[in-house]
Structure 1
């Protein structure tokens, strides 16, 4: 039996949730609230880095969102895969998974982290550098997506699971309105049932996002 330890607001938790919903795999959701000492202790017992998500598959525990999606493909085959079986064909998907995580999601997180600091500890230089990196990433993504079909790397895949949280949160903080291919791609993402379900489940938690006032109204009602 699969159990996912996660938080509904966490961007990296959205990735396996999208994959699980999209492939209609059965699993037990186990939310973690780090404000509760018992939940924090549980998470540390599952993964000493105290980071979610963590996937429990029988006696096996898997950390890191990309790895757990690969684990699902290998050990719990579904009608559709998040990565092709052919390693060569999987490379572009791995690339764009890493691109959305490293160049958009983690860069956006620097702006969030700065907003969560006390005012006297905030650093406008870090924020400016992060916004510059997002602009560069947006240009790269726009160029790539302009030559693609509906999804980031062929069929809906691991790359798109990574793109949903990255573009949702980054778009609220640093909009990509002047990138039409990105806008169209994001609209396709949020309309996909698995992605829409993840966003709907996260909705009650958006009030804890420091830039909640910038989340488009269509996601708040």
Structure 2
């Protein structure tokens, strides 16, 4: 039975689950979760404790949370992309960076987005300011980390976490000029075929970005 991935093509966490599937050429059926596909939404509501996507279905096995989906794919549907390093210590670093991108890039970016979604005319300025300040702090931490360390080869769990988070975070708060390594990493990630496919597939939905999508990328 073919894998099924439930999500939306404009969703950053859906991208995170799509990138490893594309990178390894894994056959799967994409199930869009939207008002036009209510049955898919019902499945996600039942499968996930909070009704969130992405959700992966592999026969009778259901896996949710993008990181867990990637870990599952690495074990059950491996391919040429080294999603999780074989060396245990390298795997620890990979998982650590996955958390950095999810919690300290993706999360503050989403806080700014949610502030605008909640009140497009008058978003909570304190929430917006904190989200942007947190992003700048993480950008500079990542810049120093990249100066002293190397990322695992693409496409890894880090790639899958970094690509969507940096893509959208840079729309919310531009990566500053003093973070040239991080800016170069973002450009490198966007040039990878699995990531470029996610970017292109999401283009029809850019008008829905609450801050207004920039005319780039």
TM-score, normalised via structure 2 length: 0.92
Counterparts of 1:3-152 in structure 2, within 5 Å, are 3-34=4-35, 37-118=38-119, 122-149=123-150
How far does residue 50 in structure 1 lie from its aligned partner after superposition?
Answer: 0.8
Aligned partners of 2:17 and 2:70 also within 8 Å: yes
- Residue in 1 that maps onto 2:161: 162
* 1:143-194 deviations in Å (ceiling 9; x for gaps): 1123345xxx221210111011111111011000311111111110000111
CA distance in 2, matches of 1:207, 1:37: 22
Task: Report whether the alignment pairs 1:206 with 2:202.
Answer: no
Structure 2 unaligned spans of 5+: none
- Larger mean CA deviation between 118-127 and 167-176 belongs to 118-127
CA distance in 1, matches of 2:149, 2:22: 24
Aligned residues: 214
CA distance in 1, matches of 2:160, 2:94: 11
CA distance in 2, matches of 1:27, 1:119: 37
CA RMSD of aligned residues (A): 1.7
- Residue in 2 that maps onto 1:183: 183
SS of the equivalent of 2:50 reads coil
Distance 1:65 1:75, change over 3 A: same
* 1:81-121 deviations in Å (ceiling 9; x for gaps): 20023332200000111000000101111100000123577
TM-score, normalised via structure 1 length: 0.90
CA distance in 2, matches of 1:155, 1:116: 36
